Chains A and B, each alone.
Chain A
Amino acid sequence: MSKEWPLWEVFIRSQHGLAHKHVGSLHAPDAAMAINNARDVYTRRNEGTGIWVVRASDIASSSPADKGPLFDPSNSKVYRHPTFFPMPEEVKNL
Chain B
Amino acid sequence: MRDEKLEFLFRLGDTALVLSQRLTEWVGKGPALEEDMALANTALDLIGQARLWLAYAGEIEGRGRTEDDLAYLRDAHEFRNVLLVEQPNGDYADTLMRQFLFDSWHLLLLDGLAASADERIAAIADKARKEVTYHLRRSADLVVRLGDGTPESHRRMQRALDDLWMFTGELFEADEVEQAVEAQGIARGVAQLREAWLAQLQGTLVAATLVLPPLDAWMQRGGKQGRHSEHMGFLLAEMQFMQRAYPGLQW
Contact = CB atoms under 8 A, between A and B. Distances in A.
Interface range on chain A (Cβ under 8 Å from partner): 10 to 19
A2 B33 contact: yes
B interface majority secondary structure: helix
Contact of B32 (A5, A39, A44): A5
Contacts of B134: 39
Contacts of A32: 141
A1 interface: yes
B32 A2 contact: yes
Nearest to A2: B32
Nearest to A34: B34
B61 to A, nearest CB: 33
The residue among A29, A40, A41 with the most chain B CB atoms within 10 A of its own CB is A40
Nearest to B137: A36
Contact of B38 (A2, A5, A40): A40
Nearest to B39: A40
B31 to A, nearest CB: 5
B141 A40 contact: no
A36 B35 CA distance: 10
A30 B34 CA distance: 13
Given A32-B141, A36-B138, A36-B141, A26 B34 contact: yes
Interface of B: 31-34, 37-38, 41, 134, 137-138, 141, 145
Given A2-B33, A29-B145, 5 more contacts: A1-B32, A2-B31, A28-B34, A36-B38, A37-B38
24 contacts: A2-B31, A2-B32, A2-B34, A5-B32, A26-B33, A26-B34, A27-B32, A27-B33, A27-B34, A28-B34, A29-B145, A33-B141, A33-B145, A36-B38, A36-B137, A36-B138, A36-B141, A37-B38, A39-B134, A40-B34, A40-B37, A40-B38, A41-B34, A44-B41
